[in-house]
Amino acid sequence: MFDKLQNSWTLAKASWSVLQSDRELLIFPIISFIGAVIVSILFAVPFFTVGIVEGSRGNDPGLTPLGIIIGFLFYVVLYTVIFFCNTALIGAALIRLKGGDPTVSDGFRIASERLTHIVGYAVISATVGMILRAISERGGLFGQIVSGLVGFAWNVATFLVVPVLVIENIGPWEAIKRSSALLKKTWGENLIGNAGIGLVTFLVMIAGLFITIGLAALGASLNSTPFVVAVIIVGVIFMILLGLVSSALTGIYQAAVYRFAAEGEAGGMFAPELVQQAFKRKRG
């Protein structure tokens, strides 16, 4: 357990070193976050309208043909925005890991050149997401379990899709197959390394949450409403920033894992043996 925590912390520090070298990499998850908010706002109106109309008819709006179409389009647009920014981030990160000095325009240029593949991958991911959602909602507890397991397997299989799209510039189906082949060929099937950065982020989030709650409680005991409001606002901003940094670190780590899988080394800031420990070879 201690070794896993140590590896998780080391992976996070290595990714953080890359982010410090190119702080503009943080721009990509910021734009992704803003884009996701805008997409959600734009789709809120049709979702709300369909909900009122179908609700008045006694139907579940999420299961009607119109609701399914709107939901699918929402997923496609949202995933396109997210994958586009992730492609830009990983493209720039790979330039850094190869010793270059990337700019924001470099990242967006790489993503723009692969826009067709990105949209195709978004369509595939949206289809999978809709199917898993239907299984979860209609299958009860068993459906939720199946949906969770299949979703986990999908996330593992597609872990390296975006780096593959960046470097190999192939179609989305080929990228998914290539991602699965790289993971299976190099480390087997039990993914644990990506949880490293997530674990560190979770611990920092819990610490920030406790501090926020403690300060808010202190302000409440002093009957200082402005202080409580200020603490809550700062806490929310901190959580958002933490999520953005975590997203950037994850993208950097994906770039390093791809380089190790495809080329045998991950870049100077990532020790090869540490990246290799991110996956355990399946026994038996």
- Cα–Cα distance measured from residue 218 to residue 206, given in angstroms and rounded to the nearest whole number: 18
Any idea where the domains of the chain sit in the sequence? 2-280
For residue 281, the model assigns a pLDDT of 45
Whole-number pLDDT of residue 246: 87
What confidence score (pLDDT) does residue 193 get? 52
Residue (of 270, 94, 262) closest to 193 by Cα position: 270
pLDDT tens track, the chain, 284 positions: 455 556 666 667 777 888 888 888 999 999 999 999 999 999 888 777 766 555 555 555 555 677 788 888 999 999 999 999 999 999 999 888 888 888 899 999 999 999 999 999 999 999 998 888 888 877 777 888 888 888 888 888 888 899 999 888 888 999 998 888 887 765 543 455 556 677 778 888 899 999 999 998 988 888 888 899 999 999 999 999 998 988 898 888 888 878 777 776 666 667 666 666 655 544 44
Give the global pTM.
Answer: 0.81
